[in-house]
Structures are given as structure tokens and as C-alpha cells.
Structure 1
């Protein structure tokens, strides 16, 4: 009887853990798994970029600065390669462009209900409850994004 209960408990734990992985965000440019809990309760700044996009290249240092400055304020900057690069190609492109923030290998658009953009770069602001609050087409600055996030946070209170 004890063995049956233990097997049942192990099966339940296995199913629970399998269900949790479905909520994960996939891997980043280094192959590291991004757990759902890692991003839960945070504002997300999701930026779509491409190697061939001049404005994308220009705004990357701004996004690096934003990621570093707002990390302690429950804000995470995430990148998504528009051309869906994977594995070593994604890592090399991110490194070549000097990206220091997390780049997702899987597009989060289906998860968040993001609509395809006709312009690059495009940045999405997502609140801690997972609601898309804004789409910002074109090149952004760290200062402009910080100001927009501050406004959205005030309106959420």
C-alpha cells in the first residue's frame, strides 16, 4: 500500500512539473531555459530586432542601458530576433550586436497576443499581469522608455 501511494505521489509531482514547463518562455541566446517564475510579476519590455535593421542596431545600446538601470525595479528587457534565428546563429548575432539583455529564441507573440508589426524595430510594454499595455514602433531611447513605463505604472495604481 505504501508503495502504491508513493508511486501515485511521484506521478502527481511529475505531472505538475511537466505542466509548469509549458508555461516557460523557452531558451535564450545562450541556451538557458527562461522559467515562467523568472518573469512573473515584472514589467516586460519586448523588443523585436534584426541584424539588417539600422535603427535596431542604433537602439541596442539604449536597451542595454534600460535593462541595467531598471533590473532592480521589476522590469525585464527581452529581445526577439525578427528573422527567427536559433541556436548558435542567434547567439552570434546577439553577441555581434552587443546585446546584453535576454534574447528569446521563441517568439512570445502567440503567448501574449502580440500582432505582427509592419515596422522594425518595434517594442511592446507588458504589465506584471501579462497584459499588453503599448506597442511602440520605431527606434526607442532608454529615457523615453523609462518615462513611458513610469506613466503606465502610475495609471495602474
Structure 2
């Protein structure tokens, strides 16, 4: 009887895991980004590059927004436009003073984001994974927070 119970539990665990979403790769520090860290959250996804002056200017604003919205169902996430990986991504993120998570794997295909023609570009994705807004050019914390509040129906 014990053998059958073990098999049933193993099958149940396998089915439960099969329903889980795929992880999001690693961040700029090489730490895994589990699906449950980002899914079910509103996402502010900012594409940046070291050579982009407006990108460099908006990083402190994005840091402030990430801190302001911590624990409120919103995550600020960065993506390097040039596709830097590993040590190069860590170095560039550190050089720009980025304190929010930067995904090493571009989530554009996963989230069906349109290609960005200019930098910086910021996407707002709702908790169901739907693109709600594409913002071109330099953003600030106040404007992004107001936009999020409007899109979320007045909630914070």
C-alpha cells in the first residue's frame, strides 16, 4: 500500500509542478527570478542602455518608484537593450546605480511586447500579463505612479 501512496503523491506533485509557469531566467546578479516573483504583479518594464543619456537620467526615478511601490503589487524591472549578460550586465547595472531587478533574459516575447524603436521605452503590464501602456522617452516616478493608479482603477 505504501508504494501506491508514494506513486500517487509523486504524480500529484508532478501535475502541480506542470501547472507552474516557467521562471524568468536570472537577474543582473545571477540570481534566479522565479515565476511567482513577477507573475500576478503589475510590471513596469524599462529598457535601458549605458550609451543612452535619457536612460541614465531616469534610473534614479525608477529606483524611487521601485521603493515607493514595494509590497503594493507592482514591480519595476529593467532590461538591457544591448542584451548584456553575466558580468557585463552586473557591471553596467552597478555603473548606472540600478537598485531594482534587471532581467538577463528579455521578456518581450513572453509578454508579447512590441519592439522598442527608441530608448528609453517603458512598458506597463497588468497582473494578468497584458500590455497596458508603452511609454516612449524619459519617465519620472511621479508620472509613472499616476499612470499606474489610473490604469489600476484608482488603486495604489
TM-score, length basis structure 1: 0.90
Q: Distance in 2 between matches of 1:115 and 1:155?
A: 26
1:103 Cα deviation after fit: 0.1
1:2 Cα deviation after fit: 3.2
Which residue of structure 1 lines up, in the alignment, with residue 149 of structure 2? 150
The one-character-per-residue Cα deviations of 1:51-100 (angstroms, maximum 9, x if unpaired) are: 11111000000000000001132110000000111111111110111000
1:39 Cα deviation after fit: 1.6
User: Structure 2 regions of 5+ residues with no counterpart?
Assistant: none
Aligned residue pairs: how many?
Answer: 155
TM-score, length basis structure 2: 0.90
Q: Distance in 1 between matches of 2:89 and 2:19?
A: 27
Q: How does 1:111-126 map to 2 (within 5 A)?
A: 111-126=110-125
1:38 Cα deviation after fit: 1.4
Which residue of structure 1 lines up, in the alignment, with residue 102 of structure 2? 103
The ranges of structure 1 where at least 4 consecutive aligned residues each deviate by more than 4 angstroms after the TM superposition are none
Q: Does 1:45 align with 2:44?
A: yes
User: Structure 1 regions of 5+ residues with no counterpart?
Assistant: none
1:18 Cα deviation after fit: 6.1
* More helix per residue: 1
Q: How does 1:1-157 map to 2 (within 5 A)?
A: 2-3=2-3, 5-7=5-7, 9-10=9-10, 12-14=12-14, 16-17=16-17, 20=20, 23-154=22-153
